[in-house]
Chain A
């Protein structure tokens, strides 16, 4: 039984996304509890990936493939987790703000957060405040994540926060922001709850914001 957990964490670390769904299914067929499959299998692998990345033993493309394997495995597992009453550690609505089309860093943050067990709703780039508001209404996330790479679009993050306030939704979510011109001071000035300068710290921040770290 522990063998299949071992296998699950190994394919996560190796980023073998095409094998993940099948193996998760196999574990379910063996009658293992969904939450155990997550905690003893997939997350063990993902934690190892985080540790290796922090020690610079793994590179980002390898981490992303691991996150993809995690994501694909979770697709199979999620309905069972829900049926068993388990929830993702948090839900994030993520987007690059209005006027800005830089999306590489934002996508990286999204995939790393998924890998860490969050459910991520990626709105893409050039997302206007209204669209953020709509997505919050529809998905009821714990966190809204915004990315801006231009000094000119940074202000759109403030407008989005204002729009959330006006819609009466600001208190229902935590707001985290990032992107190269952004810093902690700006986060404070526009009333965000946190800022991170790269994807690993973004994951830590997200966990802190939902009280999971």
Chain B
């Protein structure tokens, strides 16, 4: 019999102590209660006031009990379902689970044929979805760009319309406002089989961005209200810049960003109790020489780890960030920055880690970077899975059996475990020099490009229902009609 035997399944990582987390938590409540936020949405202010917030012109202050109650109402565990019922594409949010995916809206894209940087187009959204669908360690989809070759108001509608049929992994949908949010929702609901069916098995996530410092913009809240009314799982994430739009210290930026995000949580939970809610935001530093918002800085990982621990302490999942880089191209810098931020994000069990594939500090999306990071994430996941310790894995019997001077290659124990104990790379090369040479002496960069091109040429994602195809056509037609007189 065993007594008081504790098992660590996977790697343990904790940065902040409970006391530090409580201090951060109290700091956020303090900001919400005494400083408050400017809320540029009449209806939102009304709803918040009725719920118990203090409204003074556009300034809204929220008493701490209301914040705590809203955080409690938001679930810690829930599922986002693959549109085609493929259980391997479901996303189960909950403690100890971490998922990865690309990010939204850079203006440019690295063309996978010419490898040149150019504006993002409609067909790129399709390619990204198809490649995401095929990559084993990429779990959700975002487009990595803003479509430039359609009417400017319809970039988000076309993006979703292109991506949805080309991956059954859940999409995190970005939009400008109410109308395009509704376009997206119609498509998703058609596939789910109606609003009620959608509410039971949501198949996409809705993304909104409030403004730092401490502003809830009309667009962000209008989109939030749309999501809450239609029970679409919601991400509410500011993009705060330490030293620019937020305090320069890590603890300060975490506190402010959490306040901005929790304002959204309170509003969302008031409208729709129990709405699945992901806390944000994206935290990093402004490089004080280059004046860019750095997506490759170690502080990004550190601040993101801090806010992830705070989110989990408060009982909500977090929108993590990693796999991104300040490099302009698929090179060693991109590999270092991307891999390390993926690893750190995986250690924090940040629930949805996005921006995998951001290059040039978020100005250019690259599905090549995403594909390279797919390999890094596989590597990370093997590490975070940890070491299993039991009678079988201790293998004292096997050691006895093989004994001094024997070897393990023929042993059944080896055969039964070598596939699950090891991680096998897709892109990292382990062959002999001669074989590597024989296959064309390809560096990593070329192998990544070849893999992406191969996926685009061969991978067949599962199709949407024929009804959904029709709805997509109708939605786009109606959307064109809506904007036809707008310049």
Residues of A at under 8 Å CB distance from B?
56, 59-61, 101, 104-105, 108, 150-152, 155, 180-181, 198-199
Contacting residues, chain A, for B146 (C-beta < 8 A): 150-152
Q: Check if A105 sits within 8 Å of B291, measured CB to CB.
A: yes
Q: Check if B289 sits within 8 Å of A104, measured CB to CB.
A: no
Contacting residues, chain B, for A60 (C-beta < 8 A): 286, 288-289, 291
Contacting residues, chain B, for A61 (C-beta < 8 A): 243, 288
Contacting residues, chain A, for B289 (C-beta < 8 A): 56, 59-60
Residues of B at under 8 Å CB distance from A?
107, 119, 146, 148, 152-153, 155, 176, 211, 217, 241, 243-245, 286, 288-289, 291, 363
Q: What are 14 of the A-B contact pairs (CB < 8 Å)?
A: A60-B288, A61-B243, A61-B288, A101-B211, A104-B244, A104-B286, A151-B107, A151-B148, A152-B152, A152-B155, A152-B176, A180-B363, A181-B107, A199-B291
Bound Cα distance A180, B361 (Å): 11
Task: Identify the closest chain B residue to A56 (Cβ).
Answer: B289
User: Which 8 A-B pairs rank lowest in CB-CB distance, beginning with the nearest?
Assistant: A59-B288, A152-B152, A181-B107, A60-B288, A151-B107, A104-B244, A180-B363, A151-B146
A189 CB, nearest partner CB in chain B, Å: 14
Bound Cα distance A108, B245 (Å): 13
Task: Identify the closest chain B residue to A63 (Cβ).
Answer: B288
Contacting residues, chain A, for B148 (C-beta < 8 A): 151
Knowing that A151-B152, A152-B152, A152-B176 touch, tell me 8 more A-B residue pairs with CB under 8 angstroms: A60-B286, A60-B288, A61-B288, A101-B211, A150-B146, A151-B146, A152-B155, A198-B291
Contacting residues, chain B, for A56 (C-beta < 8 A): 289
Bound Cα distance A151, B153 (Å): 11
Bound Cα distance A134, B476 (Å): 38
Q: A101-B217, A104-B245, A181-B107 are in contact. Are A151 and B119 (CB under 8 A)?
A: yes
Contacting residues, chain B, for A105 (C-beta < 8 A): 291
Contacting residues, chain B, for A108 (C-beta < 8 A): 291
B218 CB, nearest partner CB in chain A, Å: 10
Bound Cα distance A60, B148 (Å): 33
Contacting residues, chain B, for A180 (C-beta < 8 A): 107, 363
Contacting residues, chain A, for B176 (C-beta < 8 A): 152
Contacting residues, chain A, for B152 (C-beta < 8 A): 151-152, 155
B159 CB, nearest partner CB in chain A, Å: 13
Bound Cα distance A101, B212 (Å): 11
Bound Cα distance A101, B107 (Å): 16
Task: Identify the closest chain A residue to B151 (Cβ).
Answer: A152
